[in-house]
Structures are given as structure tokens and as C-alpha cells.
Amino acid sequence: MLPIESIYPLLISELHCQSKVLLQAPPGAGKSTWLPLKLIRDGHFKRIIMLEPRRLAARNIAQFLATQQQEPVGQSVGLRIRNDVKVSNYTKLEIVTEGMLTRLIQTDPELTGVDLIIFDEFHERSLAADTALALALETQMALREDLKILVMSATLDTQRYQQFLGGPVVSCEGRSFPIDTVYEPLHDESKWLDAIAGLVVKALKEQHGSALVFLPGQREIHRVAQMLSAYKLSDTEIVTLFGDQDKHTQQAAIAPAKAGLRKVVLTTNVAETSLTIEGIRIVVDSGKRRAAQFNLRTGVTELSTVSISRSSAIQRAGRAGRIEPGVVYRLGSHEQFERRDSHDTPEVLSSDIASLLLEAKIWGTELIELPLLDQPSHGQIEQATQLLEMLEILDKNGKLTPLGNKVHSFGTEPRLAHMLIKAQALEAKLSGITTLACYFIALLESRVTSSPELRVALLNQLERPHHTFTVQLNQWLKRLKLAKPLTLATEHLSIIVALAFPDRLAKRRGQGFILANGAGVNSHDSHWLSDDYIAISALGGHKGQRIFSATDLSIKQLNDVLPYLFTHYSICEFDDKKGRFLHEDRTAIGELIIDAVPSSKEIDITTRTQAWLALIEKHGFVLFTQYDDVKPFLNRLSLASRFYPSEFNNLDELALFKEINKWLAPFLHDVKQLTQLKKLDLKSALISCLDWQQQQLLEQILPTRIQVPSGSNVKITYQLEGPAKVSVRMQEVYGLTETPKLCRGQLPLLMELLSPARRPLQLTQDLAHFWKNSYKEVQKEMKGRYPKHFWPDDPATSQATNKVKSRM
């Protein structure tokens, strides 16, 4: 009996009563196989869609369930993945992956006929899964109250997910078979890869059965396979399993070991979830994965090897207990394991979100309005918006363009869809450019290349194509109904790159290049050494600044074919170094200045004012010579905004700076020289932000001076954090029984009591307490040091003075 069977009645009850349910069940419990099959057999739902985050798992689950039904895939159990759709009118359970569910919802927002969506292995938090869940929740809230959503995983952050979804949690304890854990401490963390092969051999000697070895990527897989071959394991077959393999190779890897042999499967995260490999009872976990981190500056996703989270480690271990009791060998100590993060960072926080932003626009909403478990950062949204504008998907107002709708309907990554659609439109003018685009995509997707120069790499594939490249190419040629060419129109290559990667058009700057998105990258060691402009298709390495693949770029050709990439504008700015205004007419591609000539127009007041404001925004208020004198006033405004937001809204320094164009611009109209600007009466400009009532209120609640019992008006020093402060000679506050209050008692006042020589004697915020307690010690010392001054026994009731005793 599978563990999931014990909670099945409760789960059914919750699904009928609640619109959203969370299911937490360990690996091997049967949630991905037994449960969906039981649901359709019992007829609780007419049609179910189950989202699987990985194609290999989706394909195998669909095949397994169809076999259980004694049917081919496409009957009661269907499959919908990229380039492989098998569904029919008889389909009751449809296994989908990647962006397929998102596309289904965008095409039919009501999800006609579907009454349950299952999100399997949701802990992986792929961008596609987060997007699909957000749209499914929108559909449920606005269009389909009867639609049910079931979110499943072995390692959910339960409390947080439950709070987000607002549904009950159904938990399934225990697993099908127990799993023992063995930790293998490392003496040198940097040599972890060298230790893997030995750990695999150790596990094979200590245990029976086959082994699944988790590694970060293909490079490590091939390295370990090579090291294992040196051990001459005669009774063991070494196979590899990763996402880029064709499905036949993958099926062979997960098939049972041949009679009389054991199998060692070297794999990536592709086998971490929802996948049963027959005969596996040993897991060897490197504790590493390849993580994608999006570089906002360069617009490049960089891959790095990092430690997996505890939840991922639990998922990996679960592969060992699917068929019989198993054991997991973890590289590293138990202490190291406990120090890992509880969950991996979701893709929505570490990826290029251009596709997510496009989905939101197609859905008819803003990204921040979508019900996402984690909202991407402002920087991510800004970068994605700029990219979609360069791809003509959004206009300058952030609105979806007609081309944007075409790009979305094309059904592939926005960059590539834009390139293919535009290439087809240019075909009549630039013969062969569409076929060239197919070759370019095949090169990107197959990741086989022989040269950093794109032209050379493509011609090599034309003459001696790699098998993986051919598979990708044939799919694209078939889709666009094109024949294989005898030659390639590589003269259009830079246009192709510009259509897909307009943000990576680059101009030489010093020893490197600057990209159209403003980021700097390094020169290549051996290519494009004399080119002023290049079009880059692949970047990476340290800080995303290494050029992996590019080609030379003709600006004239680009302007002739893709004029929309060029902007023409005038600038007027003050050049700090030259001490004068720079007034130019410019032609640019993003941040790349292609051409600049002196402007024929005169600098009018508005233009000059905006230039001054830009200079102030660059340097801040410290640009003004009066700043130190004005700083106390700025502090008072900030405090007033904090304590009285309704009366002094947006008058703190940061808010004032954001609104500088409104209140400072009128004071700049007659400023023509930098010296004039620096001497500007900044305080008068700031006071103009306050009406008469605000000015009066400011003086009441936060006065610049306070009168003490001696009659002196003492200056108050305000700070943004902590109390206000006054420094006053002690004799001048005799008779004051409690500390004065500022801001109607909301702001504490710190009194620094001074000696007759104005040296600090005491700091206090409770004057009454000081008079009763610490004052006696001060009096004793001061009487001896300053005998001519008045040191009464009861200062709280004595007369204040600023004179010596003889003149009182």
C-alpha cells in the first residue's frame, strides 16, 4: 500500500470543499502516479491537467499511466510537451510541462472542460510553473469558481504556501521504503569532484543494487564517467542522463540494468523528482547543482556551481527508496548539510523575466498585479521592460504592440520569436535570411560550436553538422516550411543577431566593448581585435563580461535594414571636466552613441534648466556651497514629514530630491554659470515648498532655538536618528524641573549641560532625575573649580543665571 492511499479520502473531501489544496507527501508516496490515476478512475473530475516541471518526468509519467490503463498515450492519459502533443477527445488526464499550461490558459482563460489543475513538484519553483499558477489563480477568482487547484511536493515551505494560497494542507507521512544516510566528510571542499568516483565505488562495494549519482552538469558527468572507467568495474554499466539528450538515450538510461549487471546512472537535476529508475537503491549526492543567476547589468544568465538546498537533497535521496529500502551517500559532513539553505531560490527572483512580463501584458494586467508567490525586483522588471521595448513587443508607454501579440502567439522565447517573425518579413528584401535564422537558433539550442566567430561556426555546421544540431535544425525548418540550403546567406548574420539580441550590439571602448544596454564587456583574445562594432550572441564568464560568440557589425547595413533600433535626440548637459555646456544632436542604439554633432539650436531657458537639474541629480545637494548651512533645515523637514505626515507630506530630503524639478526649477531660470548655481539661495528655494501655515507649524513643533530660564535662546541641533540636542551652561537651566518637549512630546530632547568654560558636564534626557541624583557630585567638583559661580544645593528651585555670583 502506497502512503498516499491512507490520506486519499481526506484529500478528496478537501478538494470538494475547498478551491485550493496543498498536498505534502514524501518521494515515493505515489502522488505523481497513483493519485492522478485514481482520480480519473474514480470519476471525481471530468478532465485534469497535471503540470510537471521536467520533460523527462512528464513523458515517463504519461507513458507509465497510459500503460496502467492498457492504452497508448493520447487516450485517457495525454501528454503535451514541446514538439510532442498527444491528446484526444477521450483524454481525462493531461500531463503538461514548461509553458504549455500558460499557453492553454492564455488561449482559453476559462479552461473549458478542465475542473482540476495539479501542480506537481512545485518546490522546484520554475518560472513557467509560477506563471501558470498565477494565471490559474486569476482564472479561478474571476471566471471559474468551480475550478480546483492542487499544489503538490515533498518539500513545500508549507506555512508560507498555505498563507499565500489560503487553502488547507493535507500531509502524508512516511515513505514507501526506508532510506539510510551516510555522510562522507571532505577535507578540501575545492576538490569535491575528485572525491565523487571514489565515493561511488565505495557505495557499490558496501551496497547491492544500482546507483544514481547526482552531479551539477554535463562536464562533471563526463569527468566522473572517465574516472570510473579507470576502476574497471566489470559487472557495472556506466550511463549518463541529462536534459539535452534525445528521448531514446534517456529511456535507455532509466531502463533496468541488463541481466547480471549493475547500473550507475550519472545524472543532473533532471532525475531529482517524479522519476523512478528501476533497480536504483543507492543515491550518491554531490550536493551540487548548476544554478542560473541573471545579471541585470549585462542581461546575461550566468551559470555557476552551488550547493543544493536541504529540500533538494531530500528529493534526491528519495530516488533511493522507490522500489525497495535504499541508502544515500552525501558528499560532505552532516554539519555542512544542516548549514544549507532550506529551499532553493525560485527562478522568478533569479532569472530574466521578459517572458513573464509578456505573459502579464497578454493577460491584460501589470506584472505586480499578478498573484505571484514571489514578486520579481524592480530592477528585473525595468530590465525586462527595456528589452521588450527593443524587441518592439512593448511601445514606449509600456503597451503591447501588434508585433508583441505575434511574438507571443509564435510560442517560443521572445527574442527568438521576434527574430523569426522579422526575418520572414525581410525575406523578400534579404533572400535567405529566414533559413539563416533557423541555423542560428539551432546553433544556440544545440550548444555545439567550433568557433567564437558565428559565421565560421554556422558554416561548419552547414558542411559537417553535429547530430544534435541537425535535430534542432530540422524541427525549425519543418515548422517554417523551409528546405535545407546549399549555402548560407551569412552576409545577413549581424542583422539576425540584432533582431534577437539588440541589447548586445556593442561598440569598442578602450580595451573592451560597451553594450547597447550600457554594460561593459571584455575584448576577445583572438577575434574582432580591429572591429569598432560587433553583434554578440553569447556572453558569460566572470560577471557576464566574456564574449563567447559574436560577429562583426556594419552600422550602415543595420541602419538600412533595422532603422527602428536607432534613436535621434538632442542633449544639453554640463560637462564637469570641461566646465561648459555640451549641446549635441545624437544618434544612438540604446546606450551606444553612434554619432554626435554640435547642435544648431540655441540653448533656451528650459533646456539649460534641465541640464542644471541633471547636474544636481548627479552630485546631490552637496553641490551647493550653502548645503552645510541648509542641512539642519532639511533635517527639520524630514522630521516634520515623519511625525506629521498629513501636514508635511513628502518633504523629507529623499522626497524633495525626487520632486526637484517642481520646486527648484523656477530658481534656475537666470542661472547661466556653474559659480552662480553653487551660490544659489537653496534655503529660499526649500522654504518655497512650504505654505505659510506649514512654516508657522514647523516653527512651533521644531523650533531652531529654545529659551532657557536664564533668558538665553539656545540653538537646537536636529538629527534624523536619535534625539534633538541642546548644549547649555548648567547655571542657565536652574529652576527648570523637567526636560523641555519637542514636536509636542514626540521627539526627545537631549540636554548637554556645560561648565562655565563650556566644557561638557552631563548628558541627560531627564533633568528632574539629574537634579535629585547626579548633581551632588557635579556640585562638589564645580564648587572647587569655579568658586565664583553659583552652585546651589537645590538647583530645581534656584534662580537661573548666566552671570557670576558677584553680579547676580
d(CA 429, CA 423): 10
313 CB-side CA count, 13 A = 27
pLDDT at 390 over 70: yes
More confident residue, 91 or 292: 91
Average confidence (pLDDT) over 84-111 = 92
* Residue scoring higher pLDDT (248 or 199): 199
HEC string for 4-35: HHHCHHHHHHHHHHCCEEEEECCCCCCCCCHH
Interval 450-505: pLDDT, tens: 899 999 999 999 999 998 899 999 999 999 999 999 999 999 999 999 999 999 99
Alpha helices in 526-651 (DSSP H): 555-561, 605-619, 627-643
Residue 134 has pLDDT above 80, yes or no: yes
Would you give the distance in Å from CA 504 to the centre of its chain?
A: 20
What per-residue confidence (pLDDT) applies to 275? 67
Half-sphere exposure of 230 (CA within 13 A, CB side): 7
Backbone φ, ψ for residue 282 (5° rounding):
-125, 130
Question: How far out from the chain centre does Cα 513 lie?
Answer: 26
Per-residue pLDDT at 804: 75
Read off the pLDDT of residues 27-52 as tens digits, 9 standing for 90 and up: 778 888 999 999 999 999 999 999 99
Task: Over range 551-565, report the average pLDDT.
Answer: 95
**Strand runs labelled E in 636-711:** 705-707
Please check whether residue 122 is in contact with residue 156, taking contact to mean a CB–CB distance below 8 angstroms. Answer: yes
Question: 284 near 196, Cβ under 8 Å?
Answer: yes
More confident residue, 553 or 244: 553
Q: Give CA–CA dist 751/604, Å, rounded.
A: 52
- H-assigned helices in 191-261: 192-206, 218-229, 247-254
Starting at the earlier edge strand, list the strands of the sheet with 760-764.
Answer: 705-707, 713-717, 724-729, 749-754, 760-764
Where do we find the cell 568557433? 451
Which residues of 553-707 form beta strands (DSSP E)?
Answer: 567-575, 580-589, 592-598, 705-707
What pLDDT, on the 0 to 100 scale, is given for residue 317? 86
pLDDT tens, residue by residue, 263-287? 999 998 877 666 677 788 899 999 9
Closest C-alpha to 657, from 625, 624, 629, 697:
624
User: Rounded to whole angstroms, how far apart are CA atoms 95 and 80?
Assistant: 6
Look up residue 83 and give its three cell numbers.
Answer: 514538439
Where residue 159 falls among pLDDT bands split at 50, 70, 90? Answer: confident
**Which three cell numbers mark 419?**
527574430
Q: What pLDDT was estimated at residue 257? A: 84
What's the pLDDT score for residue 39?
A: 95
- Show the domains of the chain with their CATH numbers: 3-171 (3.40.50.300), 179-345 (3.40.50.300), 412-560 (no CATH), 566-603 (no CATH), 618-701 (no CATH), 705-807 (no CATH)
Q: DSSP assignment, residue 155?
A: S
Q: What is the pTM of this model?
A: 0.76
Nearest to 199 by CA among 209, 208, 189, 186: 186
Q: What is the mean pLDDT of the chain?
A: 90
**Predicted pLDDT of residue 27:** 75
Closest alpha carbon to 112 in 17, 46, 165: 46
- pLDDT score recorded for residue 808: 58
Pairing status of strand 77-81 against strand 93-97: parallel
Better pLDDT: 275 or 228: 228
